[in-house]
Amino acid sequence: MIRSHEAGTLRPEHAGTTVTLAGWVARRRDHGGVAFIDLRDASGTVQVVVRDLEAVSELRSEWCVKVVGDVRVRPEGNANAEIPTGEIEVVVSELTVLSEAAPLPFQVAEYEPGSVNEEVRLRYRYLDLRREGPARALRLRSRATHLIRTVMEENGYLDIETPYLTRSTPEGARDFLVPVRLQPGHWYALPQSPQLFKQLLMVAGMERYYQIARCFRDEDFRADRQPEFTQLDVEASFVDQEDILELGEKVVARIWSEVHGYDVPTPLPRLTYADAMARYGSDKPDVRFGNELTDLTAYFAGTEFRVFQAPYVGAVVMPGGASQPRKQLDAWQDWAKARGARGLAYILVDEDGSLRGPVAKNLSEEHLSGLAAAAGAKPGDAVFFAAGKKTPSQELLGAARLEIGRRCDLIDESAWAFLWVVDFPMFEPIEDDKGEFQGWHAVHHPFTAPTAESLETFDKDPGNALSNAYDLVLNGSEIGGGSIRIHQKDVQKRAFDAIGLSEEEAQSQFGFLLNAFDFGPPPHGGIALGLDRLVALLGGYETIRDVMAFPKTSTGGDPLTGAPTPITAQQRKEAGVDAKPRSEQPEG
RNA sequence: GGCCUCGUGGAGCAGUUGGUUAGCUCGCCACCCUGUCAAGGUGGAGGUCGCGGGUUCAAGUCCCGUCGAGGUCGCCA
């Protein structure tokens, strides 16, 4: 090593020792005869004092330097309590410039972090990551992955890699495709997840598999979505749902305990999907606050009001919402319309308990009199209603509940609200543009096992079938999900039948997996945790871009490398992008 | 694919109902300065306002288009 100590580790007990440091010039305070340099390396920063050295006036921010000097306690009154090394300084006897830096595109040593445009930061990500905040995110991520590996190894799981160049499978997200030079016209797909491979590993008798795996999905971006992202992918044989949930809890409990000293209360609370939808209008409820939905379908039975003559009528209260000006109430309508709803009916509860608003005029005295109590509203509150098909109405109210939580400051930002959502429906209806029923679609994936209760009936009554699928939710974000898989051939066939997948289609799409299942597949199940989102939540970051070393922008570009780029005619020819496949076009 | 917001020297922002040489902070360059720690002082360089078109006597400012960035809905088994 060309240095003897790390800058951020020096303390008063090092006083009197001669040290060699190497790092970057974070700041320079040149007083002429004496100059101070804040020397930064990965461990932190230390003040370096330079006297009567010509070279110091040449130094500029972010030059890479080596210094030799003596550590000493700072003179009386000059200590800086703000920084860990503030009691000492290094008096330099020798200064070497290791490399120079061009004028910076933005200030690396920023007084107010976060004030630089993200695109600029990404273009110079190597400078951005020199800063404490961004660097801390990657350190946190490394810590989390290390803890994950520790827990997985402790529990006897094998880290096994699966291919990134694989075959395109239908359903789910759009695949990223890779042309194959040796077979012009044929394409690999990048895996949306290692799902099928991990099931093959179960057939292979590996029994306990995990992988911190990169996944690829060609869909539009969000703050918590990137085209390539990382999952902790897990699969185990001879397990039931309880085993997987317990393992998932071990993982998050260890991480939160080590990182935050927070004891995750295990076993975690569980909500059925049906309860989550009924109470929170979401399959990933944020339970850091209450303000639950109320089901008023029965309450409004027999109402004259057309809008409320619906299969579901529900409500959510906005505390203090009665004092909102008309303009704001109109804004709620626009908000609801932006989510595809017709609007958001509301009633205002005045301080004297009387109800007003457009909807109030349409309700009978009988329905009005008990309404505030039925909805759980107090004087001064507003009540929002959704009426119509059950699930979309609940989702609208659930979104309203979250918006209310934010606007009314109901959310306990310091809370870690973990929970499992279980008993997901096995299928959901597919509807066309007009809302007409078209068929059934697997909610999780077509290999998800029905619950014991649904085993006999799931294909006869798909709408009510429940599956052995579960999601791990933290503070209103889904951080993982999985299921117990089907391992019996006849059950699998019935599941394919239910979603209208013929034997031929199943064979052509998943044939390799079905063939494997001819050879004594063990009962198995697993889970995948979204690592990026998990670390973002762990560290309080707003976007998963913060916890990725080189993330992409919302159009899939990387401002640093300039990817993606056009390819040359030669590359195009070699890749066989335009070649016709030898075999027939696949359907669809 | 829809909707919303943003795009002004290297960075972050301001720019009033469209009206003279586009302003501020930081950074940059030069010089001064022996105890600062967001060091300080003096002086200086650097932008024609993402791009294209239009309205107007006059556009950073209004309109249309386009590109880029962010958010959101759709989408994401």
* One-letter-per-residue 3-state SS of A96-156: EEEECCCCCCCCCCCCCCCCCCHHHHHHCHHHHCCCHHHHHHHHHHHHHHHHHHHHHHHCC
DSSP A12: G
A77: nearest nucleotide, CA–C1' criterion:
B35
Q: Over the stretch A39-86, which tens digit does the pLDDT of each residue have?
A: 999 999 999 999 978 888 899 999 999 999 999 999 999 999 999 999
Q: Phi, psi at residue A518, to the nearest 5°?
A: -75, -10
Protein residue nearest nucleotide B7, by CA to C1'? A117
Helix (H, G, I), strand (E, B) or coil at A251: helix
A169: nearest nucleotide, CA–C1' criterion:
B77
- Strand B, nucleotides < 7 Å from a protein CB: these are 1-3, 10-13, 26-29, 32-40, 68-77
Helix (H, G, I), strand (E, B) or coil at A398: helix
Q: Are the C-beta atoms of A446 and A499 separated by less than 8 Å?
A: yes
Q: Is the pLDDT reported for residue A288 higher than 90? A: yes
Q: Which one is predicted more confidently, A451 or A438? A: A451
CA–chain centroid gap for A554, Å, is 16
Q: Over the stretch A355-371, which tens digit does the pLDDT of each residue have?
A: 999 899 999 999 999 99
A553: nearest nucleotide, CA–C1' criterion:
B69
State the pLDDT confidence band at A476, using cuts at 50, 70 and 90.
Answer: very high
One-letter amino acid for residue A342 of the chain:
R
Structure confidence at residue A212 (pLDDT): 98
Does residue A51 lie within 7 Å of nucleic acid chain B, judged by its CB? yes
Number of residues that this document lists for chain A: 588
Q: Is the pLDDT reported for residue A29 higher than 60? A: yes
Does residue A18 lie within 7 Å of nucleic acid chain B, judged by its CB? no
Does residue A284 lie within 7 Å of nucleic acid chain B, judged by its CB? no
Does residue A3 lie within 7 Å of nucleic acid chain B, judged by its CB? no
- Average pLDDT score over residue span A547-569: 92
Nearest alpha-carbon partner for A342 in A334, A351, A350: A334
ipTM summary value: 0.92
Q: Phi, psi at residue A419, to the nearest 5°?
A: -165, 160
Q: Is the pLDDT reported for residue A310 higher than 70? A: yes
Structure confidence at residue A588 (pLDDT): 45
Does residue A442 lie within 7 Å of nucleic acid chain B, judged by its CB? yes
Helix axes A503-516, A489-498, angle to 10 degrees: 150
Per DSSP, the residues of A500-559 read T--HHHHHHHHHHHHHHTTS-PPPEEEEEEEHHHHHHHHHT-SSGGGGSSS---TTS--T
Structure confidence at residue A54 (pLDDT): 81
| Residues (397-416, chain A) with CB within 7 Å of strand B atoms | 399
Does residue A340 lie within 7 Å of nucleic acid chain B, judged by its CB? yes
Mean predicted lDDT score pLDDT of chain A: 93
Does residue A52 lie within 7 Å of nucleic acid chain B, judged by its CB? yes
